[in-house]
Amino acid sequence: MAANFNDIIENFGFLDDWEDRYRYLIELGKDLPALAESEMNEETRVKGCASQVWVITSIDRSGVEPILTFRGQSDAHIVKGLVALTLALYSGRTASDILALDALDLFRRIGLAEHLTPQRSNGVRSMVDRIRRDARAVLNGESMP
């Protein structure tokens, strides 16, 4: 990921206008690595998003607690930026850390939640729920759907 979550939030703070923040989100989305066509399937698609969103979860079990990393993609520019923002927050963390984070609260604090359409808000919630579900499955020793 080109920028970490704290850098993104700091950059958001420098942008006063929401049109500039949307442009920044679009730029973040452009930096997402592409997924292979074969990775964009029903199994990786996030249900509940109006736009097409796919999230791939990888698990590194070499440490004391597994580390989850995420890759994602969307077919819509702003949503792709929201994917990038969400993955920057969650990727590279332990399952416990992921479950302890409240992304929706963080997004509210930066004013993002109030500037998203209800459909986009639902999509972000669906993506966060999916990531948290994967983290719970890893902690419980379950296989991920």
**pLDDT recorded at residue 144:** 64
CATH tag, 5-139: 3.90.1010.10
The set of catalytic residues is 49
Model pLDDT for residues 54-85, shown as the tens digit of each residue: 999 999 999 888 999 999 999 999 899 999 99
- Nearest 5°: phi and psi at 89? -70, -45
29: its two tokens: 């989305």
> 88: Cβ–Cβ under 8 A, 6 or more apart, which residues?
1, 3, 4, 5, 8, 28
Residue 108 token pair: 């509210």
pTM of the predicted protein model: 0.88
Question: Cβ contacts of residue 60 below 8 Å, gap of 6+?
Answer: 66, 67, 68, 69
pLDDT at residue 7 is higher than 90:
no
Q: What is the DSSP letter of 62?
A: S
Residue range 13-34, pLDDT digits in tens = 888 888 888 898 899 999 999 9
Determine the Cα–Cα distance for residues 105 and 103; give it in Å rounded to an integer: 5
User: Domain extents for the chain?
Assistant: 5-139
Q: Which of 41, 70, 46 lies closest to 58 in space, CA to CA?
A: 70
Contacts of 145 (CB under 8 A, 6+ apart): 43, 133, 137
